[in-house]
Amino acid sequence: MSTTATAAPFRFFDSRVVRTRRLGPSTIRITFGGDSLAGFAAGGRDQRFKLFLPHPHQYSPVIPTDAGEDWFARWRAMDPAVRAVMRSYTVREQRRDPGELDVDFALHGDGGPASRWAARAVPGDPVVLLGPVEPDNGGVDFRPPPGTDWVLLTGDETALPAVAGILAWLPVTARARVWIEVPHAADVQDLPTRAEAEITWLVREDAHAETIVDAVRAAAFPPGAPYAWIAGEAGGVRALRRHLVGERGFDRRAVTFTGYWRRGVTEEDLLAEAVAGTAAADD
Ligand SMILES: Cc1cc2nc3c(=O)[nH]c(=O)nc-3n(C[C@H](O)[C@H](O)[C@H](O)COP(=O)(O)OP(=O)(O)OC[C@H]3O[C@@H](n4cnc5c(N)ncnc54)[C@H](O)[C@@H]3O)c2cc1C
């Protein structure tokens, strides 16, 4: 159960909303389609991609797709009120004939342009995706090292699509301990897997709800070499990584951790921090 990292190229894909389906109080599944998706090659697991959305006053997203390698510099130089809103999402599932991608959006109100857009999306709405053209690509982070005996997965509602993708990908020989935090009991989903997986749901609306950090702290782990994949709100992810490496003795190279969002900060601002080199250091 090991794979090696590659940095395969991504390219832009024009796409449209085909249908939407409410999965629960906090999540909407948006299915994207279009002929160009024939070239989209998701690698499963936590396959991420960039989604470009129009502003409310626009019909379609504005991106310098003709700028080749320079697209990012050109996009950044544009007026933020005009250039497309760029956000990170996960491929929940890719299907062929017809080519379709499911993406599960956590709804957190109108404060975020992507959440706002998703809540109002209707069939035909145009979007642009920046995604992989090869299944083994640099947008897949779940990569257990050789010799892994069991995997620890944690995520909130934004990382639930990735956790679902990882569980669907794990082989029958894999052993997984999983903690997922969601806002409401009705957000709990069925997560098919061939692996021997023990899944714990933590529901925030419950009066005595535990956080993921508390629940993992209290857990007894299986024997053998672990590999941890943790994602969700950045503060919780950092605290959990500290616990695993500092108090549980996990090899830091066997912990893949990603802040999927940070409380009070937009993805636009996180990107600006990363570009300026001022992102919070992860010890
Ligand atoms: C690799 C990767 C994969 C991701 N995959 C998914 C995915 O499949 N599905 C998904 O829903 N999200 C996913 N996310 C998270 C998503 O990109 C962020 O939640 C993003 O900030 C949403 O954009 P927005 O325009 O709605 O909000 P922003 O404009 O970025 O933020 C506006 C405000 O909302 C807050 N905020 C952002 N997200 C949330 C939230 N979930 N709950 C409460 N407050 C929030 C911010 O802190 C900020 O204060 C992923 C992130 C990464 C890095």
Reduced 3-state DSSP string for 189-237:
CCCCCCCEEEEEEEECCCCCCCCHHHHHHCCCCCCCCEEEEEEEEHHHH
Of the pLDDT bands very low, low, confident and very high (cuts 50, 70, 90), residue 240 is very high
Distance 263 CA to ligand 1 centre (A): 9
On average, the pLDDT of the chain sits at 94
Q: Which of 267, 270, 271, 273 to mutate to test the pocket of ligand 1 (most atoms within 8 A of CB)?
A: 267
Ligand 1, CB within 6 Å, residue ranges: 48, 87-90, 104-106, 108, 111-115, 158, 161, 258, 260-267
Distance 220 CA to ligand 1 centre (A): 31
Cα(264)–Cα(250) distance, integer angstroms: 30
Query: Using one digit for the tens of pLDDT, what is the confidence trace for 215-238?
Result: 999 999 999 999 999 999 999 999
Beta-strand relationship, 226-233 and 150-155: parallel
The arithmetic mean of pLDDT across residues 5-34, rounded, is 90
Of the pLDDT bands very low, low, confident and very high (cuts 50, 70, 90), residue 2 is very low
Exposed (0-12), middle (13-18) or buried (19+): which is 7, by Cβ within 10 Å?
exposed
Which residue has the CA at smallest separation from atom 45 of ligand 1? 108
Of the pLDDT bands very low, low, confident and very high (cuts 50, 70, 90), residue 8 is low
What class does CATH assign to 10-132?
mainly beta
In the chain, domain spans: 10-132, 150-261
The arithmetic mean of pLDDT across residues 81-97, rounded, is 97
Q: Looking at the predicted structure, is the pLDDT value of residue 264 above 50? A: yes
In this predicted structure, what is the pLDDT of residue 208?
A: 87
Q: Is the CATH number of domain 150-261 3.40.50.80?
A: yes
Q: How far is CA 7 from the centre of its chain?
A: 18
Using the 8-state DSSP alphabet, how is residue 78 labeled? Answer: S
What does residue 43 show for φ and ψ, rounded to 5 degrees? Answer: -95, 10
Task: Give me the half-sphere count of Cα atoms (radius 13 Å) on the Cβ side of residue 28.
Answer: 19
Write the CB contacts of 273 (distance below 8 Å, at least 6 apart in sequence): 279, 280
Give the number of other Cβ atoms within 10 Å of residue 118's Cβ: 25
Q: Which of 3-7, 62-66, 174-178 has the lowest mean pLDDT?
A: 3-7
In this predicted structure, what is the pLDDT of residue 4?
A: 41
Exposed (0-12), middle (13-18) or buried (19+): which is 210, by Cβ within 10 Å?
middle
